[in-house]
Amino acid sequence: MLSIIQAAGWPIWPLVACSILALALIFERFVSLKTAKVAPPRLLDEALSVSRNAVPSPDVVTQLEQNSALGEVLASGFRALNSDARCSEADLRASMENTGRAVAHRLERYLTALATIASAAPLLGLLGTVIGMIEIFGAQTPGGATGGNPAQLAHGISVALYNTAFGLVVAIPALIFWRYFRARVDAYVLTLELAAERFARHLNHLRRA
């Protein structure tokens, strides 16, 4: 691998940096977007059960908030009722919606960076290709009686081909994982919206009781 990087010349180093950054982002997103950390399947039913007759204590609300992203959204509804038991339905929904927007923004973190790498890597590979072509044309310049430089010509070809290939090797997985995480975040956001709507109706009924 090191020999390939050396043969590709200095233009490949930005691609190496992009590949390392992309791997770090992919690993971080896999860890952060686990279902248990975003929307545990039974959390909504547990929150409904706990608040069947009354709003739970602040300690329970804090524990719910720290449970997951969905827990944050549900806890914001509890906190709205705890701060004002007579708050309107619009205020209750607004509190949960604001928390939901913050959670959705956090779920989308680093996706833009991953998409940028997927878009920039082929361009960086193209830059290396252009630099390699420049070296190739430079090697064809007659140098006295000896003519072109075969070693420089071979080096220019290797720079061009290695950078093109490495740019695609970095871009293709980055694009695939960006689309995967994008779809996963969209699914989570839909789950949070549906859960928040159901929970808001429950809290509105609880508010009137």
Can you give the pTM of this predicted structure? 0.84
Q: What does each of the 209 residues of the chain score in pLDDT, given as a tens digit?
A: 566 666 666 778 889 999 999 999 999 999 999 999 999 999 999 999 988 888 888 899 999 999 999 999 999 999 988 887 777 888 889 999 999 999 999 999 999 999 999 999 999 988 888 887 877 776 665 554 444 566 666 667 777 788 888 899 999 999 999 999 999 999 999 999 999 999 999 888 887 76
Instruction: Count CB-CB contacts under 10 A for residue 75.
Output: 24
Each domain of the chain, given as residue ranges in start order, spans: 2-208
